[in-house]
Amino acid sequence: MQDSRSYSVNFTPDGEFASRYPALAHLPFILDSRPGYHRLGNAYLIERGLGLWGPESRSQGPTGRTPTAKSMHSYAQWLANFLEWADRRGMDLKTCEYATHIRDRYQKEMLEGLWSRDGCSLAPSTVNLRVQQACDFLTWMADTGRRTAFDIPYNMARLKVGSATSSIGHLEFDVQVRKGKLRRSQRVLRMPSDDHVKQWLARVYEKHGPTCGLMCETVLLTAMRREEVVCLRIDTLPENPRDWHIANPLAPPAEQQVRITIRYGTKGPTYGLDHGDKIGRERNILIPLSLAHSWHNYRANARNQAFATRMKGVKGAARLARAQSAVHLFAYSTRCRTRFHADAGQHSIVIADTVPR
């Protein structure tokens, strides 16, 4: 009788394993339906997570480029889905082919709802990500001698991306596109008016308070990524306004901008962790002077109140440890995950999906 339990993605708890193998402690691993450690799938995740193999550098050997923790978690989830499908369908990972098994069965079953949790067709973007991870895994098996060659047919396509430096306003690149890749549905995006956004932001301040409101306002005024906002440090903006680096000091105050440096939660390679945050590639950005003043006032008032609440009743060494761990600009008395949805007329705005500190 076939086991009905699903494949699952797990993380190693802190303990002896983490101390003996620190390079692997942060990587996810897959348990199959027994449940048991899926050796083949996890060998792939280890090599991918340590930068020993990657689809973009297959023939170049180890490059040292390691995916982020979030990317590795996504890879593990997509791979676990494929491995469970292959297990349930009795497919041999060592001999399966792209067209016959991956495109015409795995991809097709997801599109038709035969392989989905609720029996409904999955979005093309979801299907493409899962199929690409299956292809990467089978390609890794071939590259490491674990199966016969796995051939994927490709077409060449010309991609246009926006550019602020090109005279024609965009740049063109030739890219490889997997044959059989699904097209995303083209939806018409309607942007809310300035008045709608202002009304929405005012409701966020009123309903969720100064911390959530200022986080959302920061996204609106800087286009920072959500993770970058969550990871802002209390000293990202110098404490003394005299030390602020004004990029355009001769402009009117309403147009002046302050240059700051961010590196926590930024996109790109991972250079370690700091207080649970990814250390990414350092970059400089400009923020409005008005926003800098809002940060400064928040830091001196609302944040201090939240910090005092968090420290209430904590004494001794625990108090010092908690104080030293409070490095983030946006402070909360409790940890929670919040997603803000607000309807502004006919528009639906989603600004933040963050883990506040």
Please give the pLDDT value at position 285: 95
Structural domain includes residue 48: yes
pLDDT tens, position by position, for the chain (357 residues)? 344 579 999 998 766 666 777 878 889 999 999 999 999 999 999 999 998 999 887 766 666 678 888 899 999 999 999 999 999 999 999 999 999 999 999 999 999 999 999 999 999 999 999 999 999 999 999 999 999 999 998 888 777 766 555 555 566 777 778 888 888 776 667 888 999 999 999 999 999 899 999 999 999 999 999 999 999 999 999 999 999 999 999 999 999 999 999 999 998 888 888 988 899 999 999 999 999 999 999 999 999 888 888 888 888 888 888 888 889 999 753 333 333 333 333 333 344 333 333
**Is 60 in the same domain as 138?**
yes
**Is 327 in the same domain as 222?**
yes
Q: How far apart are CA 141 and CA 63, in angstroms?
A: 19
**Is 239 in the same domain as 100?**
no
- Evaluate whether 218 touches 260 at the Cβ level (below 8 Å): no
Distances (CA, A) of 126 to 129, 155, 182: 5, 21, 10
**Is 109 in the same domain as 212?**
no
Burial class (CB in 10 A: 0-12, 13-18, 19+), 188: exposed
> φ, ψ for residue 288 (rounded to 5)?
-60, 145
Distances (CA, A) of 349 to 76, 99, 191, 256, 340: 30, 40, 9, 28, 8
**Is 256 in the same domain as 111?**
no
Please give the pLDDT value at position 170: 61
- Evaluate whether 102 touches 89 at the Cβ level (below 8 Å): no
Which domain, by its residues, includes 138?
Answer: 8-143
- Evaluate whether 222 touches 237 at the Cβ level (below 8 Å): no
What pLDDT digit, counting tens, does each position of 325-350 carry?
889 999 753 333 333 333 333 333 34
- Evaluate whether 214 touches 330 at the Cβ level (below 8 Å): yes
- Evaluate whether 243 touches 260 at the Cβ level (below 8 Å): no
Q: How far apart are CA 291 and CA 275, in angstroms?
A: 25
**Is 68 in the same domain as 211?**
no
**Is 89 in the same domain as 219?**
no
Structural domain includes residue 75: yes
- CATH value at residue 218: 1.10.443
Return the sign of the alpha-carbon dihedral for residues 114, 120, 125, 130: negative
Q: How far apart are CA 180 and CA 182, in angstroms?
A: 6
Structural domain includes residue 19: yes
The H-assigned helical ranges of 237-315 are: 289-300, 302-311
Please give the pLDDT value at position 2: 43
Please give the pLDDT value at position 120: 93
Q: Which of 125, 143, 161 is the last residue of a domain?
A: 143
Determine if residue 52 is left, alpha or beta; phi over 0 gives left, psi from -120 to 50 gives alpha, anything else beta. Answer: alpha
Torsion on CA atoms 267, 45, 58, 64, rounded to nearest 10: 50
Strand-pairing partners, residue 338, are 354
Please give the pLDDT value at position 210: 92
Domains: count for the chain: 2
Burial class (CB in 10 A: 0-12, 13-18, 19+), 157: exposed
**Is 129 in the same domain as 35?**
yes
**Is 12 in the same domain as 108?**
yes
Please give the pLDDT value at position 343: 33
Mean confidence (pLDDT) of the chain:
85
The reply to whether the predicted model has a pTM over 0.75 is: no
Structural domain includes residue 204: yes
Read off the tokens for 57: 């550098």
Structural domain includes residue 125: yes
Structural domain includes residue 178: no
Please give the pLDDT value at position 164: 53
